[in-house]
Structure 1
Amino acid sequence: MTSNASGTGAWTLQQRNNARQGRALAQSLFLGASQNAPLSANRSGVLSTASDGTQAYDFRVTVASGLTMTVQPGSAIVNRAGQGPYPAWRVPAAVNVTCDPAPATNPRNDLVVLRVYDAALGDVVPAEGPVAIQVITGSPGPTPVDPVTADATGTVTNWATAPVGSQAAGGGVGIILARAQVSTGGVITLTDLRRSTGLIGGVRVLLPGDSLTDPSYMPGDIAWFNGHRYWDGTAWQELSSSLGYAKGLIAKTVYNSEGVFDTQTETVGDGASFTFDPARSYQFDWQGTISATADRPYMSIGWRIANGGTVTNTSPLMYSTLLPIQGNGKFDKAHLTCPISGAAIAALGISAGTVRAAITHYITAGNGGSGWQVRGDNGVSPALPNKRHFAVFDTGLSR
């Protein structure tokens, strides 16, 4: 005879859904934090919803002045064991929080936290409300320590270690946003400690508080840190490498000054360093402007490469060509590229690891001088606004 069991609930069969049923819905949507117990824990952290292209703004903490800090609006997930996740947010405007006065001797670590109180579970809700942005004050010391710590899910649950009694009491769960080390002179040194979380199946943007070695509990979890990574169940793998995708721009050096050469001796110029993988292909790109001071405008130009951070005129030569340029003080805007496979680079004696590639050049016999120009605007009208740069692109696995 068959044997059946009851499910806990469904959204929404009930005439009225309580708070815990709402958290159960959220629990099934956001990243888990348990390897072998479904729907038992979620990864706590900040949800990235806004960025300037280089850093996430959500719950970002900055120093406003003195001991006052500004916390940007944001959204987050805060896990509570046995209760599911609390989706918490601060909108629409930034707020200020202030540390206690500076210590008399030795620095002190304070923590800026997002803390969620649930009165139904016995938490004592403070004046600032059930969702609070608080400063947890530490104890001064020669090597100060943080007043509270997060558990494996990224959640602070044990507030009893906080030295200030009112901050240690009240219960609740929270996440750490930043460390504010307060000096005896009242100067704050901030460390961004935001950790990331996200929806199941979404790309999670790693934040400054994340570690590249932090495990995931969800095979197929995809994270972004200068490229896509996925969790294969035991370790992080680079998605672009495993599938052969191009990584795009991986190194670039921009030059702000004029680099003049006027010799028939080969000179190594602009370059960039990057991590070389013989299994992948690359493209080297130089852009700038060149002038000549004679009417016989030819220059030899090429790309050399070397292990480490220095390229000389005896380093392996990847490619070389004659470059025609205008004479008599005229300016040419140049954009030169050199595609090459990692195998071809390795054949030059270059091994995996940190390498540097650079432009090398000299005036061919019988020609006059030339010079790199930053903007090409030395008495030239109209001015050429582009600065010189040397860039390295990863174009995917070698075929």
Structure 2
Amino acid sequence: MGADESTAVVSGNVQARLGAFTLQTSDFSWPLSGITALFGRSGCGKSTLLRAVAGLIPRAHGTLRVGDTVWLDGTRQTPAPQRDVGYVFQDAALFPHLTVRGNLTFAARRAPGGMDAAQIEAQAKAVGVAHLLDRRIAALSGGEKQRVAIARALLSRPRLLLLDEPLAALDWRAKDELLDLIGELAHTQRLPMLLVSHAPEEIERLAQRVVFMEAGRVLRVEPLAQALMRADSPLFDRLGPVAVLEGEATPLAEGLAQLRIDGSQLTFPGKATQHRVRLRVYARDVALARTVPADISMLNHLPARICGFTPSRAGYVLVRLCLNDGQGLWSEITDQARAALQLREDETVVALIKAASVER
């Protein structure tokens, strides 16, 4: 691999024309680590850029460097089979005439150095399909097919895993399970991933950074936390501004766990895991108080500093809050409430959050 992966980056400036669509990214760069999300409206070029990274656009030109390896220089391209990438398609793209084992064996034979049956079964177990190895592809659910597709991609021992809207065709339960799996694999295998998605929830649950795209261009690359602390963030949907909080979690009671945030705790529905937990909190679910109130059912009381105000919908204001550990939070309150509490920037308040409103 050459360069130290802890400091390696993906960088370039890629152009390609496909029919009436033109990809002209402008210069971009992001770390070759964690999960990087390509985000934008349908037709903005997310999948096209992903395919260019994979080497699947023959007429692409410009520059593309992954770590210390040049994959595109002018019109000279490294062939796709030599790029050390795994690719997961939206429709899984499995061989329908083979069993799950057959699909994985086909991929394992093409892995550098090959893989034996035990390694195939270990990878199948890692993605939760070991019990399906002898099943035909037609007998699998959508979520099961995507698990097999992920296992097949991982068997190639990729340096970079490319995921092209792998959750788009799944029901909510299968999508939720696959989000957990992808996050777990990124953590346990320390494999850099490039994820295409137009769903903010998927990005908020998985990504470390976001590549915002529009009309074939890369507009900017931002860490997720920074992108979510802009009141005009494209990641905010019809439910309004949302913040992501991360930390170590511990079990609390049946169906509940607690996230530790610099001396405070945030109770949430779910269970603690062996690694850091990421939670989503909407601005509309955060109330503010001057002091910790007594006799109230909201048991989540987080001390915070007011870092700014932004006008919201008519009669409302967004309050940007800074927690003690540097993480951010939003609260949407009425103008009347702001006036009644006489809230000002840099003052300390208490953020009140219902446990039931906290989402994974």
TM-score if structure 2 supplies the norm length? 0.27
TM-score if structure 1 supplies the norm length? 0.25
Higher helix share: 2
Larger Rg: 1
